[in-house]
Chain A
Amino acid sequence: METVRLRLVRNHMVSMRQHRQRDAVFRAVADPTRRQILGILRGGRQTVGVIARNFRMSRPAISKHIHQLHKAGLVETHSEGTTTVCSLNAKPLREINSWLQDYEAFWSASLDSLKRYLEEGR
């Protein structure tokens, strides 16, 4: 519990930039098309062309979605000859998850402390 509290305090020290990054991740996964793209990439790296074939929308539209996922740090891209290959990066998702868990732990520790104080006077 103490470790959790300290981790939380550290997490409070997040900069505005990290906050924006978190917003970018939330924004990225809020869209069904982008979630589907992430789903495809979960099976392994894939070219933009192959990803686009799964959708009715145009390839430029899909590229735009991939660009947003890339900006949020969820998708890494690199060129292989004339094609662009995309792969999934789950790290930002893991970070958001641990941030939320830290907040949960903080309030849980505070409630336990309040209960102990009122019931046992310590």
Chain B
Amino acid sequence: MTTATIAGDALVQEITIVAPAERVFAALTRPEELVRWWAVEGKVRTLAAECDVRPGGAWWMVVEGSCGSGGPHKVYGAYRKVEPPWLLEFTWNREGEDYPESVVRWDLEEKDGITRARVTHSGLVSEDMRQRNNGWSMIVQLLEAWVEGSRR
């Protein structure tokens, strides 16, 4: 089970995995592992990945099975923080899209061989918006209230 929250301008999700943090970190950073788990059977799959795991190093994945053209496209970015096996932060872009770059951060905590992995995806709204609004949890709550209200 995952738990999801919206904190500030970011989406935050957590999960516990019965594996040491080092194992989890490897799965997040080794191309041969990424192509195995980052997929949806029969629908979307990761064809290839490359990870230069150091601050400033580039990463990319070629993902196939999206809609529209359906052709393979690249998801890519650069590592910003690399502190194995506890922290990994990288930028997130999609090829062919005129869309602002966002940031993904993985925080790992281990206790008795069980790892709590938290993923934070931030920068989903523009920098301009982040400066204007004190985070958007309040706004999101408002939106949800509106959406629910307007269904009536």
**Cα(A117)–Cα(B39), bound, Å:** 11
**Cα(A20)–Cα(B24), bound, Å:** 37
Min distance, Cβ B22 to any Cβ of chain A, angstroms: 11
On whether the beta carbons of B38 and A27 are closer than 8 Å, the reply is no
B43 contacts across to A, CB distance below 8 A: 2, 5-6
Contact of A78 with B by CB under 8 A = no
On whether the beta carbons of A26 and B139 are closer than 8 Å, the reply is yes
Interface residues of A in 1-37 (CB under 8 A from B): 1-2, 5-6, 9-10, 12-16, 19, 22-23, 26-27, 29-30, 35
Interface residues of B in 23-63 (CB under 8 A from A): 23-24, 27-28, 33, 36-44, 63
On whether the beta carbons of A108 and B44 are closer than 8 Å, the reply is no
A6 contacts across to B, CB distance below 8 A: 43-44, 65-67
On whether the beta carbons of A23 and B44 are closer than 8 Å, the reply is no
On whether the beta carbons of A10 and B68 are closer than 8 Å, the reply is yes
Q: Nearest CB to that of A88 among chain B residues?
A: B150
Chain A 63-84 near chain B by CB (<8 Å), digits 1 or 0: 0000000000000000000000
Interface residues of B in 78-107 (CB under 8 A from A): 94, 97-100
Report whether over half of chain B's contact residues are helix, strand or loop; otherwise say mixed: mixed
A-B contact count (CB 8 A): 135
A2 contacts across to B, CB distance below 8 A: 40-44
**Cα(A51)–Cα(B17), bound, Å:** 54
17 residue pairs of the A-B complex, CB under 8 angstroms, read A2-B42, A6-B67, A12-B94, A16-B99, A22-B125, A30-B133, A42-B149, A100-B11, A107-B13, A111-B15, A113-B37, A113-B39, A117-B27, A118-B24, A119-B17, A119-B18, A119-B19
**B residues neighboring A (CB under 8 Å):** 2, 4, 6, 11, 13-19, 23-24, 27-28, 33, 36-44, 63, 65-68, 94, 97-100, 117, 119, 121, 124-126, 128-129, 132-133, 136, 139-140, 142-144, 146-147, 149-150
